[in-house]
Chain A
Amino acid sequence: MPASTFLDALAPFTLTAIRIARMPLDQWGDDARDEKQVSYRSLLPFARTLRFLSLRNINGSLPATFSALNKFCSLETLDLRGSPLSVNQLQAFQDFEPDLELRLLLDSKFDKDLKDGGKAFRQYCVDVGIELRQMAPLRSKFLDFTIWEDPFEL
């Protein structure tokens, strides 16, 4: 079940913090793996108030582009650890220019597929005022999801 199903229902709220893990962002089934189909649509109702956004170990893909994040004028922390980011996505990420100083959390090996080893990405972070924090893959107890099997499987 995608997180957007819940977020759409929560649209009337003025949320300041959202944490999502081990769920698709806004598409069901195979569609969730197609980054072109996935979007930040369900997060936009909270764009003015959201200060903390964590999308950890997302099932499927994050959206292909990140320009929608420019609408998040209060965002202070963006945690994408554990969520796969392709080279194209990392390049597209640079369309995002946060209004405030942003703390961006990525896996320590986010740059392994980049030709310049992430040098340009790091420079981009410096230029737009992003504090980049590379951290080891999570081993949080929160992410030890081993419980549900059938009959809950839809």
Chain B
Amino acid sequence: MAAQNDLSSEMSARRTKRKFAVDEAGASTKRSRLELCAELIQSAACRSQDRDRKLFTAALERLDDRSVQELHTGADEKKLIVKAESRLHKLPLGLLDQVVSFLDFTGVAACSALSVYFAEILRNGRWFRHCWPPAGYFTAGALNKLRSKRIRPEILTCTDITFDTDQAEVLEYVSKLRRVQHVQLLGTLQNSWEHTLLKPLFAQVATVTFRGADSEFVLQRPGQSGMMRHLPSVTLPHDMELYHLPDLSIASMPQLTAFNFSSEGFNWTWSSAKKLDFTSDNSNAWKDAGGLYISDDDDEVAERRDFMVAFQSVLPFLRNRPFETLALHCGSHPGTLLNTLSLFPQFRHLQNVSLVTIAFEPRFLAGLSNLTYLRLQECVLLINNPWLDPNQPLKQWILESQQCLQQAFSGLAESWRKLAGIALYDVRAHFELDDLEYVLNHCCIDYPLSLQR
């Protein structure tokens, strides 16, 4: 064990040394292609099975400093040739296969350029299962390559995949993948056949990102990320039907820890609960706390859309997903709450609520019996008090306003018995029903008739 630790430390030092050496040379892309040795070391450090560990340790012992140095010097000089007597060639095929599983396509391609031996392995399609398609982006063209190599989906090792739903052959292929943890979905699901087909795939995933309402999506590659454009299959989030998204219920996706819906301006994320650090200065503290996080940042879209309708349209997709944190963050265009949150069954157990740039009547927060932390930023509390006379002296007006507001909050105190923390950032209040109507009109909200006068 001690020898293994020493070896691990030594290899770690080598890895660090090489990293800096290559970084200083400004050849980061070459380094990423030729991380074979580094990944070998990494795999040795993280493998837990005894047999694998012994195998890796034995292989590492065969790789001396000189062979590692030769690889990287050769890469820097663009004349890398692994000679037939290279230690790498003597690694067992099974071990080499596991080493390659850590590389992306460019890395594997670089390996094939190392020697005829590696090129032959790649040509046989043996390593394709680890690296194809590039960045996990499954298209009809990518499938052609896999089929030409006769590679069955069951043996592919990719964990992050991206695909659109417009081609049945792609859906059929990805539905048989066995190691997928993260899915980027580029289109809506259209029928029960697609739901049934993809059920095994979604049953194993940890995160899903839906980009079907966005004209851009991201393909992650080691050391870089590429923004790609495509035609969104839906334009407005609240136009979506329930069957357009995968079934997010606990039964259908038992491993799911996060779902992200991304469109231009309107985004929502559900993620599994974490502890909220209310005293943190980190601006992402609420986002990191898990639960349901909805943000609306696009002026043009917001003006065409009722925030409340969009907000409510999210809830059915969550099925029976529990959440204790709700964050509604509007951008430069204010949103408005028009209903009591506790009327929604999913909100009854809320512990943390953050409202940013939202106009609402305080009574809409009544009934949240588990509310522990409340954050209001740039919110406007709409106080219904048609008897308040704006023409009276300022001091009297202030006094009456205060009483009015305190009455509104005192009513809430009955239900917020667990409240432990409050954040008030530039919170304002607005009185009188006439003004309320004015606010609602200017927020372009279709408010219910009961509020109209």
Contact = CB atoms under 8 A, between A and B. Distances in A.
B332 interface: yes
Interface residues of B, number: 40
Given A6-B405, A9-B410, A151 B424 contact: no
Given A9-B405, A147-B357, A16 B427 contact: no
Interface string B416-453: 10011111111111100001001100100000000000
B424 A19 contact: yes
B384 to A, nearest CB: 16
Interface of B: 278-279, 281, 283, 332, 334, 357, 373, 375, 377-378, 380, 394, 398, 401-402, 405-406, 408-410, 412-413, 416, 419-430, 435, 438-439, 442
11 contacts: A5-B401, A9-B412, A9-B413, A10-B409, A10-B413, A18-B422, A19-B425, A22-B425, A23-B424, A23-B426, A147-B332
Contacts of A17: 278-279, 373, 420-422
A151 B435 contact: yes
Given A52-B279, A140-B283, A151 B439 contact: yes
A141 interface: yes
Interface of A: 1, 3, 5-6, 8-10, 12-23, 28-29, 52, 54, 77, 138, 140-143, 145-148, 151-152, 154
A152 B440 CA distance: 12
A143 B423 CA distance: 13
Contacts, number: 108
Interface of B is mostly: mixed
Contacts of B394: 29
A14 B420 CA distance: 6
Contacts of B375: 19
B283 A23 contact: no
A152 B425 contact: no
A152 to B, nearest CB: 5
B427 A52 contact: no
Contacts of A12: 410, 413
A145 B405 contact: no
